[in-house]
Amino acid sequence: MGKRNGLLLMLALLLVLIPLGIDFDDNGHEPFAGADAQAEGVIQDLAPDYQPWFTSFWEPPGGEMESLLFAVQAALGAGFIGFYLGRSYERKHTEAAKEQKASPSLGASSR
């Protein structure tokens, strides 16, 4: 393995391991809580007797299922964006190639 690849591997390992060793919060709070959970906590602090207007019609059975659905949504979005960018790129190059074929090249003799 080259010196550069070894350095990149060490950097990647550090990026993975350093956050695992940092103790973010000693109060028992989840360090990477989502915005929904944080907003719920603030509402409970400001108005403990507040009742929500409505509830969700379906809630995933567990945190793993919620994470799976989020990952599927992200993958579909990334696929759509990648497809759109790829089509746009190919359309631009195809049109440029058609224009180049249609117009006679410089320096070509006419018959």
Residue 8 lies in a domain: no
Q: What is the pLDDT of residues 15-66, one digit of tens each?
A: 988 877 776 666 666 666 677 778 888 999 999 898 888 888 888 888 889 8
> What distance in Å separates the CA atoms of residue 102 and residue 31, rounded to the nearest whole number?
61
Tally of structural domains, the chain: 1
Q: Give mean pLDDT, residues 96-104.
A: 83
pLDDT of 71 > 90? The answer is yes
Residue 111 lies in a domain: no
Residue 72 lies in a domain: yes
Is the pLDDT higher at 109 or at 72? 72
Q: Please give the pLDDT value at position 28.
A: 60
Task: Concatenate the DSSP letters of all residues of 9-43 into one string.
Answer: HHHHHHHHHHHHH----SSS--TT--HHHHHHHHH
| The model's pTM | 0.47
Residue 70 lies in a domain: yes
> What distance in Å separates the CA atoms of residue 56 and residue 68, rounded to the nearest whole number?
18
Residue 94 lies in a domain: yes
Which domain covers residue 69, as residue numbers? 63-100
State percent of the chain over pLDDT 70. Answer: 83
